Structure 1
Amino acid sequence: MTARYLLWMLLIATASCGCNSRNEAKVEAKPKSLETLDVEVIEVELSSWPQVVRSQGSLYADEQTVVGAKVAGRVAQVHGDVGDLLKFNDPLVTLDQEDFLLQVEQAEAQLLQARSSVGLLEGDPVEKLDPTNAPPVRQERALWQESQSSLERIASLRDQNAISQGEYDVAAAEERVAEARYASAVNGVREKIALIQVRQVELAVARERLKDAIIRVPMDGFVLNRLVAPGTFVAVGQPVATIVRTNPLRFRGKIPERYSQSIAVGQSLSVKIESVTEPRDATITRVSPALDQQSRALTFEALIENENQVLRAGLFAQAEVVTDPDAVALVVPESAISEFAGATKAWKVVDVVTQEQEVRIGERRGNAVQVVQGLSAGDLILRDAEQGRVGKVNSAIAPQASLPSDAPIAAM
């Protein structure tokens, strides 16, 4: 009886302990009350986010030319060195002119000789010279007229049977010879007139060679390098210096094939130049008609003003081309996004309770971030993700617009 009583008491005690344990577990499982967060909440909205294409490239001189010698000669003087600014037609290199001066004097003497042979005085234009009035022609014409008169007299004597037929034939032959000499004299004068024209051209060539002995700058620009020094003998066509024009400069960049149809002449772009603080605004002026077959990229150019010569050719630059100025996107402040251990998140407010929301972001422009995935227009998020934690948002705080609609495009 006693043993059975003890067994029942043990079972009742064990059951009582189990119930108490379960009751205590239920008490501990009750959720704690959420912390009230005094944070700023903003509403995700579509904002102006112009579509841009980024490109890398370099600045090139507007024009670059290698200046060569038109005549051969020895360098007497170099007028420009590296970095010198020269104006159009300024002397760049002067060759020894002694030989060219002698050639001019020789051509002048030969022309004077040719003009004197036909009786042209200094200053008389050769175009007004009548070949029939030249002294040699007048002489032959006089002899021909004399033979004609003699032939007429002999013909009259022959009619009177005063002379024989043989004497008449001799006079007639002399008259024909005189006529031929007259025609030859006229042709000779015409030949000398043509020779005068040849001598005039030779003189012009000699003077041009003398002028070419001074090699001049073909455009306004800087001397990029010089290739000769006094005493150097240069051949025809040999380079003497390189001239570059750096106002304006050409930005030349490339864009991938997938954006090739969105680039056109007249589109605006912002160029960020290495070592220059402020970006430069420019406009596309040229677009290549074909893609590069190796890189599958399209080349384009834009002109950048450089009147004060601050920029230099060869500088590296990055550009943003605005292809769709009316595009929109979900944009939030950079402070609303947290990044840790490769995860990008925002704190989203659902039924006044905050919770973490993983997002995927796109471009960053200034303090604005484009949200590609994870949020929708109208969602509420915390403005400052660093204050984010699970809690209940103070309902007294009203949602605010995240960004103005005209969020700027930051230069690269």
Structure 2
Amino acid sequence: MTLGPGRWAKVAVAALTAAAMTGGIACKKPDPSMKDAVAEERDAGAPVATKFTKVTEEKMPPRLEVTGTLDPDERSEVAAQTNGTVTAVNIDIGSIVKKGDILVDLDPREASMKLDVANATAASQRARLGLKGANKFEADGVADVKMAREAAELAKTDFERTKMLYEQGAISKAQFDQAKTNKERADAAYDSARNGAEQAFVSLLASQSQAGLSSKSLDDTKIRAPFDGTIESKRIAPGEFAAMGKVVAVLVRDNPLRFKFEVPEAQTALVNLGSKIDIRVAAHPDKIFKGEVKRVGASVRANTRTMPVEAEVANTDRLLKSGYFARGSVELAGELRPVLLVPKNALIPTGGGSRIFVKKGDKVEERLVSTGAAQGDLIEVTGRLTAGDEVAVENVSSLADGIAIAN
């Protein structure tokens, strides 16, 4: 059968209408009441086996909540102490090093040759002075000086004998004058020999000093870590020329770290050296790091009316990084206050705090709490809890608000 133009248009409209209705049905959103029903079915699921422990109350020191930054205990821009071409770089960003570890090697050949020359010069001068081992220098012990001294003593003896004979009229004045001249020449030669030996010893000391400097220059071709820490940045590569003073790496001492924060003027008298502090960072929200106040500012800042304080935080496992923003809870001097404590394993961290499940008859009820200072396996909590409440400590990740407890 052949369809005319009018019939084709009607067929097309009918097809589009059917498609639109089908698509509408397919894209229709689920009924909210159905979603709630599914959630209720899940929450009312099979009972979960768990164990409970009671919330306890203890008296603890008052605390101040603070924020601040973690900084390295030390930061050093490690620089070359001598000139040289880099032959090896033994570290990279994040490398953990010990004091004395070689970070960068410089070409040692020139320094080694200078040391050899200085040592050879010093050895030659010691030999000239007759010094062996740890012999102490004495000018009269030098061979040339010893010969000059003996000649001077002989000339003196001859002069004294000649003088006596001259006074007796046994010899002429010319003979006397010659003996006197010989004595004066011998004395001058002895003095000259002593001066020469002493100058030679001074030269030896200078050569030994030069040898020491050359030895240091050779040692300086190995650029070492000044303390234990972590490499923050590397600033040189093999083949580059390192001039004296060129920074080759930045090293930070990151164990311990310094937590720097500010204390309001009103609480400055309550924060003391040795005050304990608990630290939290976003990178490890479920972990508390322990610290102790080590430095308290000498004055309050006029613009903020706060006092700078620094605490040291152990970082043996290096979970903390320099530059982290941190929140702290520092103990204050003053009367003890009652706090609620629960086991740490009773908590499930959330974005704004922690969840905890309290026993209510044969079911559990979810509560939101905030955490405070830790005391061993227990942690301080604030929220809708009272001492004696029973909180779940096993299978807590399987619990939900209103779920039944398995017998």
| TM-score, scaled to structure 1 | 0.64
Shift of residue 55 of structure 1?
Answer: 0.9
Secondary structure in 1 matching 2:287: coil
Indicate the residue corresponding to 1:284 in structure 2: 293
Distance 1:169 1:249 in 2: 87
Alignment of 1:189-228 (within 5 A): 189-228=197-236
Indicate the residue corresponding to 1:316 in structure 2: 325
Asked if the contact 2:290/2:314 (under 8 Å) is kept, the reply is no
Distance 1:280 1:133 in 2: 70
Q: 1:404 aligns with which of 387, 396, 402?
A: 387
Distance 1:142 1:253 in 2: 80
Q: Kindly provide the amino acid, as one letter, of the partner of residue 114 in structure 1.
A: Q
Structure 2: runs of 5+ lacking an equivalent: 1-56, 340-368, 372-380, 390-407
Secondary structure in 2 matching 1:251: strand
Indicate the residue corresponding to 2:395 in structure 1: none
Distance 2:58 2:220 in 1: 65
Q: Kindly provide the amino acid, as one letter, of the partner of residue 272 in structure 1.
A: R
Q: 2:77 aligns with which of 58, 63, 66?
A: 66
In structure 2, the CA distance between the partners of 1:130 and 1:53, relative to structure 1 (3 Å rule), is closer
Indicate the residue corresponding to 2:104 in structure 1: 93
Deviations 1:134-173 (A, max 9, x none): 2212332343344345435644654564543233223212
Shift of residue 221 of structure 1?
Answer: 1.3
Distance 2:143 2:71 in 1: 67
In structure 2, the CA distance between the partners of 1:155 and 1:250, relative to structure 1 (3 Å rule), is closer
Indicate the residue corresponding to 1:84 in structure 2: 95
In structure 2, the CA distance between the partners of 1:155 and 1:301, relative to structure 1 (3 Å rule), is closer
- Mark the structure with the bigger radius of gyration: 1
Alignment of 1:357-396 (within 5 A): 366=381, 368=383
Does residue 113 (structure 1) correspond to residue 128 (structure 2)? The answer is: no
Indicate the residue corresponding to 1:354 in structure 2: none
Deviations 1:272-291 (A, max 9, x none): 21121223343323221222
Indicate the residue corresponding to 2:45 in structure 1: none
Shift of residue 217 of structure 1?
Answer: 0.8
Asked if the contact 1:246/1:313 (under 8 Å) is kept, the reply is yes
Q: How big is the alpha-carbon RMSD for the aligned residues of Structure 1 and Structure 2?
A: 2.9
Distance 2:100 2:207 in 1: 29
In structure 2, the CA distance between the partners of 1:211 and 1:305, relative to structure 1 (3 Å rule), is same
Indicate the residue corresponding to 2:377 in structure 1: none
In structure 2, the CA distance between the partners of 1:152 and 1:247, relative to structure 1 (3 Å rule), is closer
Asked if the contact 1:47/1:404 (under 8 Å) is kept, the reply is no
Shift of residue 56 of structure 1?
Answer: 0.8
In structure 2, the CA distance between the partners of 1:367 and 1:190, relative to structure 1 (3 Å rule), is closer
Alignment of 1:10-49 (within 5 A): none
Structure 1: runs of 5+ lacking an equivalent: 1-45, 330-362, 370-401, 407-412
In structure 2, the CA distance between the partners of 1:169 and 1:222, relative to structure 1 (3 Å rule), is same
Deviations 1:65-120 (A, max 9, x none): 11111112222211111111111111011111111011101101211221232234
Deviations 1:37-64 (A, max 9, x none): xxxxxxxxx9969643221112222222
Indicate the residue corresponding to 2:115 in structure 1: 104
Q: Kindly provide the amino acid, as one letter, of the partner of residue 293 in structure 2.
A: I
Distance 1:223 1:150 in 2: 79
Alignment of 1:327-338 (within 5 A): 327=337
| TM-score, scaled to structure 2 | 0.65
Deviations 1:222-277 (A, max 9, x none): 11101111222222222111111222222211122222222112323332211212
Distance 1:125 1:364 in 2: 73
Distance 2:163 2:71 in 1: 92
Distance 1:153 1:209 in 2: 61
Deviations 1:317-348 (A, max 9, x none): 1112232452469xxxxxxxxxxxxxxxxxxx
Q: 2:248 aligns with which of 240, 247, 257?
A: 240
Does residue 261 (structure 1) correspond to residue 269 (structure 2)? The answer is: yes
Indicate the residue corresponding to 1:166 in structure 2: 174
